[in-house]
A = this chain, B = another copy of it.
Amino acid sequence: MRSAAEIQTLFEPLLPGLLGVQFTEVTNERVVATMRVRPELCTTGEILHGGSIMAFADTLGAVGTSLNLPAGTGTTTIESSTKFLAAASVGTTVTGECTAFHRGRTTMVWQTLVRSETGKLCAVVTQTQLVLVR
B-contacting residues of A (Cβ < 8 Å)?
10, 13-19, 39-45, 49-52, 54-59, 62, 74, 76-87, 101-102, 104, 106-107, 109, 111, 121, 124, 126, 128, 130
Pick 27 A–B contacts, CB within 8 A, sort by A: A13-B39, A14-B40, A14-B43, A14-B49, A15-B40, A15-B42, A15-B52, A19-B51, A49-B55, A50-B58, A50-B76, A50-B80, A51-B55, A76-B87, A77-B84, A78-B84, A79-B128, A80-B84, A81-B81, A83-B109, A83-B128, A85-B104, A85-B109, A86-B102, A102-B121, A109-B124, A111-B124
Given A13-B39, A51-B55, A55-B49, A81 contacting B84 (CB threshold 8 A): no
13 A-B pairs besides A14-B40, A16-B49 with CB distance below 8 A are A43-B59, A51-B55, A51-B59, A54-B54, A54-B82, A77-B84, A78-B128, A79-B82, A80-B80, A81-B82, A81-B126, A85-B104, A106-B130
Pick the contact of A101: B42, B101, B102, B124 (CB < 8 A).
B124
List B contacts of A109 (CB < 8 A). Answer: 83, 85, 124
- CA distance in complex: A50, B18 (Å): 14
Number of copies: 4
List B contacts of A102 (CB < 8 A). Answer: 83, 85-86, 121
